[in-house]
Chains A and B, each alone.
Chain A
Amino acid sequence: MRKYIFSTDHKVIGIQYGVTSLVFLLFGFTLMMMMRWQLAYPGIPVPAIRFALPFVVVGLIILGFSKFRSGIHLLVGTVFLLLGWMIYYLTTDELSMPDGIMLPEFYNSLGAMHGTIMVFLGVVPLAVGAFGNYVMPLQIGAPDMAFPKLNMMSYWVYFAGGVVMLASFFVPGGAANSGWTSYPPLSDIATTGQTMWLFGMVFLITSSLLGSVNFIVTVIQLRVKGLTFMRLPFFVWAQFITSFLLLLAFPPLEAAGVLQLMDRLAGTSFFLPTGLVVSGEILPNTGGGSPLLWQHLFWFLAHPEVYVLILPAMGIIAEVIANNTRKPLWGYKSLVYAVIFLGFMSFIVWAHHMFLTGMGTAISSFFQTTTMIISIPSVVILSVLLMSLWGGSIRFNTPMLFALAFLPMFGIGGLTGLPLGLSSSDIPLHDTYYVIGHFHYVVAPGTLFALFAGIYFWFPKITGRQMNERLGKIHFWGSFVCMNLIFFPMLIQGLAGVSRRLYDGGTQYAHALNVLYLNEWMSVGAWAMAVFQIVFILNLFFSLRKGKKASENHWQATTLEWAATPTPPVAHGNFARVPEVFRGPYEYSVPGHPTDFTTQNQPS
């Protein structure tokens, strides 16, 4: 129990976070695949079996790998079977899918829960909870996190939040259906699922609060001797700044969540304007509230949240690129200053999500100026990573392929964001598929590719085995093609003016007819994408038992997690002997050295 379930060891907690968030990512992705069926073939019954069966098959294969001896295989295999059942249940439920045809309410639920699950239960817990937890203490030479019990609590509170979110699919009226942004007044009068959503969010916010306090204290207090701030690997810097964003940006959403709960449960009108008419009747509430108040509180969190999604990814990419180009990062200091500035600026750009609310030109100008300013550090970071490739003798292994693909993909995501940051060009693009294309380019082939890179990169350290390179490359090329097949057409549809909220994909709009054929392309892309993720899942579980043994410092890296700990690191304590640091994080190919890498703990 103490060892595997209620463990206080940061590595076990990291793995718990990793497995749970990967399962949630897959589940969130499946919700989207069901939506994509409706978009591609509106009004045609959803083939429930085709969505549920892959889960069952993969689950059985993983159970087969286990040979009933490996706990993690048994657990994940069972989870897959349960998910298969849940998806079958959802797609055959007569209330939400009469005769297999999706009702608009259920479509909305899927959209809201896709966003929520991907952001709050998938990407952030994987990027911060899993990678941050596992790698960061090792990189700074700490025996564990500063508060191991809080760390355990952070995971279990997150888990509880996830359970609440999943359970909300089964309450009357289904899960929350007001979008991941939960804009009132609709969310105030929505079905019970919305209340569950709010409770779930309170859990997730508490979890990230506990985690972020822990991360910051660990970085500040537990760095080993000689590891000054300017010698920290960039990954640690990224996690450090991310934690500040989580710490300071989430509480306003918690406040907003409390206010919305009061609206829903105690009959207050924080977000309900006076004289609101619902279904032809005036609501009994006193009114006097402001729906815009929610938007401000929500985006005050949710814009920094965007950087929470991307910064740890950039950290991973920096590690992978430095290691596989075999040369120091070009401009480490500007990278660090850029990330600090980015973190600071991310708090004063939120209202660029609200140009259409009629805030007035003065405030719009302010926020579009800050938005243009924040693009500078992002460009600095991307340029630094790109320039670091120059003149390197690049090793094209799977993590590096993902890292290399990250650069142009994130580039597209970033550049397509510029027109959205300027209020005049945002007005026609607002709420179209262009917005969806933009932020998915940032998060899906951006952040997710970085996370895949991280998984392939640190897998040998975590398990002591290598992942299969050939399967890894199939996974990479397949995902790379499919990602663009899914998200590039969205930019085209968006420029044609197709709204992002259409349940039938735009069949009723004349301006959408020319680009309607793209719906099917995107859907096929999404389903093909799923096939390549199965390759990844099987590779993961196959390599766990049968992968080739990895050496201590598998990638000949310089940072402490590779240089100073055994593979896999010892439980509780990490280091047989406390290391001491003598040099910067990326001393690759230093002239005059016998090897092409000099580890941080090597005395000069």
Chain B
Amino acid sequence: MEIPYTIDSRPDTGLFNAKLGIWLFLASEVMLFGALFTSYILLRVSAPEWPHGSLILNVPLATLNTVVLITSSITMVMAWASLKMNNFKKYRTYMGLTFLAGVAFLLIKGVEYGTKFEHHLFPSNSTFFAIYYTLTGLHGLHVIGGMIVNGYLWGPGSRMWKTRPERFTNRVEVAGLYWHFVDLVWIFLFPVLYLL
């Protein structure tokens, strides 16, 4: 039994199954983060005072993290493009770089968290820190999830390239869509928490 349209696109929709699936998944992710951002707005407008993020959070480190994530999005696209051009070696390099960028992001985030903990700034400190830790923590979990997938596609999962190269390319494309979304969430988080 073969399920149709796992590799080729269905003519009338122009999509293969997993691509439609990941877009739907991302739609639900939009609702998840949308609800959290909405909560942020509601809590902030009803608060008597709200600290300015740039005064208590580390803006330079977060800027660096933004650069790291955007770079990783570029390398992710390059990884997919390399497969499309039948260059598996280049794919391994770019995918490896994407994974390392994820590691770098988490390390920087870890340093940020660490210094906050040193100063005894915990989620229970204020509503600002509560929402800061919740949003960045949930985003961090999404980064870890993406890294697991990327790591798998870089390592053991890449054996599929030899047997079913088209399907493997599709997988990388889908993982890429997710990775870009994680990147995009950060691009919203950064100004909302650190700058506004």
- Chain A residues with CB under 8 Å of chain B are 142-144, 146-148, 209, 212-214, 216-217, 220-222, 247-252, 254-256, 258-259, 262, 266-270, 285-286, 288-290, 293, 296-297, 300, 572-573
Contact = CB atoms under 8 A, between A and B. Distances in A.
B39 A270 contact: yes
Nearest to A210: B25
A251 B26 CA distance: 11
Interface in B12-33: 13, 15, 17-18, 20-21, 24-25, 27-29, 31-33
Given A147-B18, A288-B127, 7 more contacts: A217-B21, A222-B17, A256-B35, A256-B39, A258-B134, A259-B134, A290-B42
A209 B43 contact: no
A221 B28 contact: no
A18 B46 CA distance: 46
Nearest to A9: B1
Nearest to A144: B3
Interface stretch (B62-70, B76-84, B117-125, B184-192): B117-125
Contact of A293 (B17, B39, B125, B126): B39
B130 interface: yes
22 contacts: A142-B4, A147-B17, A220-B13, A247-B28, A249-B31, A250-B28, A255-B32, A256-B35, A256-B39, A259-B36, A266-B123, A266-B130, A268-B124, A268-B134, A270-B39, A270-B131, A285-B124, A286-B125, A286-B127, A296-B42, A300-B35, A572-B1
A222 B29 CA distance: 24
Given A266-B133, A288-B43, A290-B46, A297 B127 contact: no
A251 B29 contact: yes
Contacts of B5: 146, 221-222
B160 interface: no
A593 B134 CA distance: 64
B134 A248 contact: no
A217 B20 contact: yes
A573 B1 contact: yes
Nearest to A222: B4
B43 A248 contact: no
Contact of A267 (B46, B122, B134): B122
Contact of A220 (B20, B28, B123, B126): B20
Given A147-B21, A268-B127, A288-B127, A255 B28 contact: no
Contacts of A297: 35, 39
Contact of A259 (B10, B39, B48): B39
A214 B21 contact: yes
Given A247-B28, A290-B46, A293-B42, A146 B21 contact: yes
A255 B3 contact: no
Nearest to B127: A288
A221 B42 contact: no
B27 A247 contact: yes
Contacts of A300: 35
Nearest to A572: B1
A387 to B, nearest CB: 33
B30 to A, nearest CB: 8
Contacts of A222: 3-5, 17
A393 to B, nearest CB: 39
B4 to A, nearest CB: 6
Contacts of A296: 42
B47 interface: yes
B47 A288 contact: yes
A247 B9 CA distance: 23
B21 to A, nearest CB: 5
B138 interface: yes
B189 to A, nearest CB: 14
Interface of B: 1-5, 10, 13, 15, 17-18, 20-21, 24-25, 27-29, 31-36, 39, 42-43, 46-48, 122-127, 130-131, 133-134, 138
A21 B5 CA distance: 32
Contact of B15 (A142, A221, A259): A221
B5 to A, nearest CB: 5
B77 to A, nearest CB: 24
A256 B48 CA distance: 23
A144 to B, nearest CB: 6
Nearest to B10: A221
Nearest to A250: B28
Contacts of B131: 270
Contacts of B133: 262, 266
A140 to B, nearest CB: 11
Given A143-B3, A217-B17, A221-B4, A289 B35 contact: no
Given A213-B24, A216-B24, A255 B127 contact: no
Contact of B28 (A209, A293, A573): A209
Nearest to B31: A251
Contacts of A289: 43, 127
A262 B21 contact: no
Contact of B43 (A214, A250, A266, A293): A293
A288 B126 contact: yes
A290 B127 CA distance: 11
A268 B39 CA distance: 14
B15 A254 contact: no
B130 A270 contact: yes
B126 A286 contact: yes
A258 B124 CA distance: 15
B80 to A, nearest CB: 21
Contacts of B127: 268-270, 286, 288-289
Contact of B24 (A143, A247, A258, A285): A247
B124 A143 contact: no
A474 to B, nearest CB: 41
Contact of B17 (A221, A262, A286): A221
A572 B27 CA distance: 30
Contacts of B18: 147
Contacts of A290: 42-43, 46
Contacts of B34: 251-252
Contacts of A251: 28-29, 31-32, 34-35
A266 B129 CA distance: 11
Contacts of B2: 143
Given A222-B3, A268-B124, A286-B124, A255 B39 contact: yes
Contacts of A221: 4-5, 10, 13, 15, 17, 20
Nearest to B126: A286
A428 B104 CA distance: 58
A148 B27 contact: no
A212 B36 CA distance: 21
Nearest to B18: A147
A144 B124 CA distance: 48
Please indicate which of the listed interface residues B15, B31, B42, B123 has the most CB atoms of chain A within 10 Å of its own CB. B31
Contacts of A286: 124-127
